[in-house]
Every structure is written in structure tokens, then in C-alpha cells.
Amino acid sequence: MTDLFDKHRPIAERFERMMELGVNAVGITNDQLISPTRAMIQGRETILAGTNNYMGITFEKAAIEAGKKALVEFGTGTTGSRIANGSYAMHKELERELAAFLNRKHCIVFTTGYQANLGMISGLAGPRDTVYLDADSHSSIYDGCTLSGAKLVRFRHNDAADLDKRLSRSEGEEGGKLVVLEGIYSMLGDRAPLKDFVELKKKHKFQLLVDEAHSFGVLGPHGRGLADEAGLEAEADFVVGTFSKSIGSIGGFGAGDHPMFETLRYAMRPYMFTASSSPATIATSIAAVKTLAREPERRDALRRNSERLFNGFRNLGFEMGCEDVSPVIAVKCKDEPSTIMMWNALLKAGVYVNIALPPGTPNRLCLLRCSVSAAHTDAEIDQVIATFAKVVAGR
Amino acid sequence: MTTDKPIIDEICRLLAPHNPKGIALSAATDIPKELNIDSVGVLDFIMEVEDTFDIEIPMNVVAETHTIGDLVKVVEARIRKA
Ligand SMILES: Cc1ncc(COP(=O)(O)O)c(C=O)c1O
């Protein structure tokens, strides 16, 4: 008999190597949350600088009250999908609120952002179509592509000329074409050069989906994401986003203006065959969308905080993931063992960041990845910089 | 484009940077397993193959391509199609 676990031996061995260094970088426990930016970890008060809590919105009074009310009035769960059990009024309210915020005609919410990508990509593209995806795409995009059964063509990261070449190679083939980009790439924090990609629409006919997971609520004059920032929303046919970052809740959405958009509800397996979000989750998400719309100053605070951390790291001479300032700030490190040791030293000094290692990173990079929050104080940012100065500088 | 050289030689040349241990390459060599290249590394290598021969090798095809011999067959078929 072949043990089904045999194939996972390399993973187990890698994990053991990490544990030999005395570090479990993928299994920390937050024993208590003190605020959106502080938690008790291993008995120490720790600054959270790796949680994607961009708006620092997880302890908002209005959202917590709305969540409590929904819990009491609608119960703990929906016990099924919206196709099987029907929607709760709040699901529809959230879709209306989001559509209004995004200035889109249609919006569909999903139970997670991961499922939003799975659903949207596999709903839009089928076996006769081709999906062109950026090489650095998030795993949920890769998995959505696999689920679609479409032909999959990968192009070089943020390289519109490379996509142009690949679109030309399949010129004249039957079927639709979907190009998938991200607003802010989750590992290095760089933005897609949207204008260059949109320019290709004149030459090659394709539809464009932008995953604004890290840019929704963050970029643009209305906080709608990269397409909003670039003034190219009309060219982004479909938007995907998540509630797990700027919304501080859990869930995801797909939105667009296509007249047949609502048909996707009956064509997306990751929407149809999983339970819908719980009432409390939906209620907190609605409250958070309203907060984002009402308090654009949060975006300004996030931008200031991001610049403060970015400039602090630059002054320490670090090589960063990219030259654009975004709330994702990744410091490039030499190799895996030193990255693990530094990550651990940061944690022991009271700073939590993400560790990102190959193959989960572009170009086999080893990264200490920070995400900035609007709720970080200047003192917290400065402490993160000072701790990096001690632990990382000169390594 | 260098299709006049045997395809296998060209593929071995492209694999050289991914083969720091200098393992002897043949049609039977399993690219990810024997050269210990992770899933993303294989996709990056395939992009180089696509550009060298100016062909398209969709990711769906990569999933079923393991050995250098498999890859040579894919490249041959795709050059003919182009
Ligand atoms: C680019 C991107 N898309 C999608 C997701 C999935 O979102 P969620 O955490 O809501 O499943 C994430 C984050 O995990 C992401 O970084």
C-alpha cells in the first residue's frame, strides 16, 4: 500500500528543520487581543505588524454592536447556501452597500475571499476559454483557474509586453479571454501597471478581472482600489475583493456591470455549494463598509503610516520588495535560516511580522513582510523600525 | 529562435541554471523530481522554453509533463502547430 502521506514527507522534513532552530513560524497563537495593533503572544505584549488589518477596524464599536444584534436576532449561522436555504435580508443589504461603494451595478458576496476568486474565475471562464494570469498571482487565483478547466497561460509579473506576446501567440483561437491582475501584490506590495495592461485591450479583445484584495479600501480617491487610483474603473470589467483585510471581517465579493452578471450565482460552484456567511459576519461587514465610506481619513492615516515605515526601513539601508509605498512592506533577506532566526528575534522583541519563504514567494525570495494599519500609532511604527534596526540591520 | 539545434540540447541548455549539482540529463530525467525544482520553478522554466521556441505551453499541459522526453514531445508538437 502506498501511504497517502508519503508525498508530504518533504513538507514534514522542512517543518522539522524549522523546529530544530527552535522556531515555529507558522503556528503562533494570539492568546489575547488588546487592540487592532496589539496582542499577547507567548506571554508578551506584541505589536502586530503583519495582520493585513489595514484600516484597524476590527474593534469598531458600531461593527461590534451590529454583529451582536445580528447574532441575537438571526442566530449563529445560516446552515446552508443561499441557493438551498435562501438569502437573509442582510446578505442583500451588504451587496447593495458594496455595489454603491464600488459604483458597480452588481455585486455578489462569498463566504471567503478565496472562494470569491474560485467562484468568479471558474464562473467566468470555462473549458473553451483562456485565462491569462500574472506569474505572481495569489494561490486563490491559481486554484480558481484550475477549477475553471480553461486553458491557462501565465505571463511574466507586471509585464504587459510579455502578456501582449502571449496573447498574440493564441490569436484567432476560439473562446473568450480573461486576464487576471491584482491591485497590490500580497508579497512584495507592488501595484499592477494597469494603464499598460488596459492599453492591450485595444489590440487584443479580452475581459479584465482585478483582484483588489489588498487595495480595496486602501487605494484611490474613493478607496475602491487600484482601478480607482488609476482612473481606469470602466476598463476593469470585474473586481474581486475580500473582507478579511480592510473590512476586518471575513468574506469576499465579486462585482461588475455586465448585464448578465447575476447569472453567475447559478454558475459558480464555490458560491452554490457552501454555506453563506453567518449573520454576525455579514452585519459587521456592512458596518465596516459604511465606516470606510464615511471616514476617508483612515486611508490618509494608512498612507502616512506606510510612508513612515517605508522611509524608516529605507534609512536602515534595507532592500524592499518594491519602490512604491503601499501598506505591504517586505524586507528582502539573505536565506531561509537567517530569515527564520530574525523573524523569531523580532517576535521575542515584541514585534509580529509575516515570514514568507519559497515557493510561496516570487523569485525564491526570503521575506520579512510587514503590513501597516491606519490604527498604528507613530510610536508603534517607530518601535517596529527600532526593533528591525537591532535585529535585521547589518545581517 | 534556435530550432535547428536538436530540441533536447536546447532544453538541456535551458535547464543548466536549474541544475547546480550537475546531474546528467537525458530524455528520462524527471525535471521536478530529479532536479528538485518546486512547482513555481517549473512554471518559470517553462516560460523560458516557450520564449526560446516562440510557442505556447499552457499550464494545463505542464501538469502532465514530467520528463525531459515529455517536454521534447510537447515542444515538437507545438512547433508544428505554430
Ligand atoms: C491577493 C489575494 N486574493 C485573495 C485572497 C483571499 O482572501 P481571504 O483571506 O478572504 O480568503 C488573499 C488573501 O488571503 C489575497 O492576498
When pLDDT is averaged across residues A191-215 and rounded to a whole number, the result is 97
Q: Considering only CA atoms, which residue is closest to atom 7 of ligand 1?
A: A113
Using the predicted structure, report yes or no on whether residue A31 has a pLDDT greater than 90. yes
Query: What is the second-level CATH architecture of the domain B7-81?
Result: Orthogonal Bundle (1.10)
3-state secondary structure of A378: helix
Q: Which domains does chain A have, with CATH numbers?
A: 6-49+296-391 (3.90.1150.10), 61-294 (3.40.640.10)
What are the backbone dihedrals phi and psi of residue A382, each rounded to the nearest 5 degrees, phi first?
Answer: -65, -35
Strands annotated E in chain B: none
Taking residue B63's Cβ as centre, other Cβ atoms within 10 Å add up to 12
When pLDDT is averaged across residues A8-12 and rounded to a whole number, the result is 92
When pLDDT is averaged across residues B44-48 and rounded to a whole number, the result is 95
What is the residue type of A79? T
What is the residue type of A29? T
What is the residue type of A113? G
Give the model's pLDDT for residue A27: 87
Q: For B13-37, what is each residue's pLDDT tens digit? A: 999 999 989 999 999 999 999 999 9
Using the predicted structure, report yes or no on whether residue A268 has a pLDDT greater than 70. yes
Cα-based distances in Å from A327 to A28, A54, A58, A106, A183: 22, 7, 17, 28, 12
Strands annotated E in chain A: 30-35, 38-41, 44-48, 106-110, 130-134, 151-155, 177-182, 207-211, 238-242, 252-256, 328-333, 351-352, 354-356, 366-371
Instruction: Suggest the residue from B52, B55, B56 to mutate for an interface test with chain A (most A CBs closer than 10 A).
Output: B56
Ligand 1: residue of A186, A240, A271, A354 to mutate (most ligand atoms within 8 A of CB) is: A186
Q: Considering only CA atoms, which residue is closest to atom 10 of ligand 1?
A: A113
Return d(Cα A195, Cα B15) in angstroms, integer.
Answer: 35
Strand ranges of the sheet holding A207-211, from the earlier edge strand across to the other edge: A106-110, A252-256, A238-242, A207-211, A177-182, A130-134, A151-155
Q: Considering only CA atoms, which residue is closest to atom 15 of ligand 1?
A: A213
Give the model's pLDDT for residue B2: 47
Query: Based on the number of CB atoms within 10 Å of its own CB, is A66 exposed (0-12), middle (13-18) or buried (19 or more)?
Result: buried
Strand partners, A369: A330, A354
Name the least confident of A66-75, A284-293, A336-345, B4-13.
B4-13
DSSP secondary structure string, A19-71?
HHTT--TT---EEEEEETTEEEETTEEEEE-SS--TT--TT-HHHHHHHHHHH
Contact A166 B60 (CB under 8 A): no
Return d(Cα A275, Cα A262) in angstroms, integer.
Answer: 19
When pLDDT is averaged across residues A55-62 and rounded to a whole number, the result is 97
Position B39 confidence tier, pLDDT thresholds 50, 70, 90: confident
| ipTM score for this prediction | 0.91
> Least CB-CB distance to B59: which of A154, A170, A364?
A154
Position B4 confidence tier, pLDDT thresholds 50, 70, 90: low
* Ranges of each domain in chain B: 7-81
What are the backbone dihedrals phi and psi of residue A360, each rounded to the nearest 5 degrees, phi first?
Answer: -80, 0
Distance, C-alpha A48 to centroid of its chain? 17
How is residue A320 annotated by DSSP?
B
Give the model's pLDDT for residue A24: 87
Q: For A360-380, what is each residue's pLDDT tens digit? A: 899 999 999 999 999 999 999
Residues of chain A neighbouring B42 (CB-CB closer than 8 A)? none
When pLDDT is averaged across residues A1-23 and rounded to a whole number, the result is 91
Taking residue A341's Cβ as centre, other Cβ atoms within 10 Å add up to 16
> Least CB-CB distance to B60: which of A151, A165, A169?
A151
Considering only CA atoms, give the Rg of chain A. Answer: 21
Contact A359 B40 (CB under 8 A): yes
Q: For A126-138, what is each residue's pLDDT tens digit? A: 999 999 999 999 9
Q: For A276-286, what is each residue's pLDDT tens digit? A: 999 999 999 99
What are the backbone dihedrals phi and psi of residue A270, each rounded to the nearest 5 degrees, phi first?
Answer: -70, -5
Give the model's pLDDT for residue A393: 80
Position A86 confidence tier, pLDDT thresholds 50, 70, 90: very high
Using the predicted structure, report yes or no on whether residue A18 has a pLDDT greater than 50. yes
Whether A364 has its CB under 8 Å from any CB of chain B: the answer is yes
What is the residue type of A39? A
Using the predicted structure, report yes or no on whether residue A84 has a pLDDT greater than 70. yes
> Least CB-CB distance to A156: which of B40, B47, B55?
B47
Contact B43 A152 (CB under 8 A): no
Give the model's pLDDT for residue A251: 98
When pLDDT is averaged across residues A307-330 and rounded to a whole number, the result is 97
Return d(Cα A239, Cα A101) in angstroms, integer.
Answer: 12
> Least CB-CB distance to B38: which of A130, A145, A358?
A358
Q: Which residues does a 6 A CB cutoff place in the pocket of ligand 1?
A: A 112-114, 117, 138, 140, 182, 186, 211, 213-214, 242, 244, 252
Q: Considering only CA atoms, which residue is closest to atom 16 of ligand 1?
A: A186
Q: Which residue has the cell 513612515?
A: A308
Residue predicted with more confidence, A200 or B5: A200
